[in-house]
Copies of this chain bind each other. A is one copy, B any other.
Amino acid sequence: MMITSSRFPVAVHILALLAMQQRSLSSTYIAGSVNTNPVVIRRILHTLSQAGLVTTQLGSDGGATLARSPEAITLLEIHRATEAGELFGLRNSQPNQYCPCGSNIQPVLSKVFHRVEDAMQGVLGETTLAQVVEDIETRRSAVK
């Protein structure tokens, strides 16, 4: 199974688009770039808004804008906003508590899972939206 749903990649896409265009964009416009339904975009924008990463404006000529500069937004924040719960987890299994292995395996695994999660968050935390946009711009000029 893959780590993430499509929400995280789509959220990065949305924010990169907002950073590149530097203006208010409607969910319909963004959906055109992502190639999905506007409601899917609005749902993600809502969670990004709650996380303080974008501000949205109701009404005619409304839409979404970045709430902060791209340099001040890390992929870790975006990931935390869009992917709920623990990344690595034990789900609902309840091993036999009368077995020497079953009664101790879960805390031991949790420790390993935390180390894995820390490693992942390290990488995401040191990558900013500005770097993503820069990479996109570099590819644009390279391809041309």
Query: Which of B35, B84, B107 is within 8 Å of A95, CB to CB?
Result: B35
**How near does chain B come to A21, taking the closest CB pair, in angstroms?**
8
Query: Which of B6, B85, B124 is within 8 Å of A93, CB to CB?
Result: B6
Interface residues on A, range: 35 or more
Residues of chain A in range 102-144 having any CB-CB distance to chain B below 8 Å: 102, 104-105, 107-109, 111-112, 115-116, 119-120, 122-124, 127, 132, 135-136, 139-140, 143
- A16 / chain B contacts, CB cutoff of 8 Å: 101, 105
Answer whether residue A94 sits at the interface, using C-beta atoms and an 8 A cutoff: yes
The docked-state distance in angstroms from the alpha carbon of A111 to that of B16 is 15
* Given the contacts A95-B34, A99-B33, A112-B127, A87 and B3 also touching, CB distance less than 8 Å: yes
Query: Which of B6, B20, B86, B101 is within 8 Å of A101, CB to CB?
Result: B20
A107 touching B139 by the CB < 8 A rule? yes
